[in-house]
Amino acid sequence: MKHYSIDEIQGWERFYRANFVNSLSGFKPVSLISTINKEGIPNLGVFCNIVHIGADPAYIGFINRPIDAAPHTLSNIRANGLYTINHIHPEFIAQAHQASAKYPEGVNEFSEVGLTEDYKADFVVPFVLESQVQYAMELTEIIPLVMNNTFLVVGKLLHAFLEPSMLSKDGFIKLDEASSMVSLGMDAYYTTKPNVRLQYAKPDRPAAQIDC
């Protein structure tokens, strides 16, 4: 295979380099993050840098770009500490992608992109009705990453909504059956197909396959 040094990569044209680096770390769990501003007007954003932080307590984080580039999700979360994360499926990929557009503050992005607000569980922030896997989060910590002015936003899981038929008997969620999409780079979306589940690895035996 060919060697690409960081000096060579840094010499590339800006968008070519961004596509290369954004793809390099692999497929990402792409979702819509919904928030509300002080007036209760909902905002949507597409987020793929979503990461599991811990299972007990259940913490999930995401990376927010510099505030000038992506101000609304972060300022709404700072204001009221609540947000929902909603998986994206092929049926509404165009509408979801449109939510990454920079609409002015105060524009209801659900109506703008053609998705439906879903209010439930006494949660003030809407879920995305079209999404088959939805969860509600409460802000725990915003950690500024000073080297590039981004933020790691960590929240605590409060509610989750999905069909029980997606659940395996051991609690594993078969997201491929919901056609939850993953993304690559900033513009490519994929559906997934399962390969294998393997037992917890231990030094003294090969991990056996797990049935879903």
Ligand X SMILES: Cc1cc2nc3c(=O)[nH]c(=O)nc-3n(C[C@H](O)[C@H](O)[C@H](O)COP(=O)(O)O)c2cc1C
Residue ranges in contact with ligand X by CB under 6 A: 30, 43, 45-49, 62-65, 70-73, 97, 100, 102, 183, 186
> Which of 33, 53, 56 minimizes the C-alpha distance to 154?
53
> Smallest distance from the beta carbon of 105 to ligand X, in angstroms?
8
Shorter beta-carbon distance to ligand X: residue 138 or 197: 138
Rounded Cα gap, residues 170 and 154, in angstroms:
26
> Smallest distance from the beta carbon of 167 to ligand X, in angstroms?
27
> Which of 142, 123, 49, 130 minimizes the C-alpha distance to 83?
123
> Smallest distance from the beta carbon of 177 to ligand X, in angstroms?
22
Shorter beta-carbon distance to ligand X: residue 41 or 166: 41
- CA 67 from chain center: how many Å? 18
Rounded Cα gap, residues 76 and 95, in angstroms:
21
> Smallest distance from the beta carbon of 155 to ligand X, in angstroms?
14
Shorter beta-carbon distance to ligand X: residue 33 or 133: 33
Rounded Cα gap, residues 55 and 192, in angstroms:
23
Shorter beta-carbon distance to ligand X: residue 178 or 184: 184
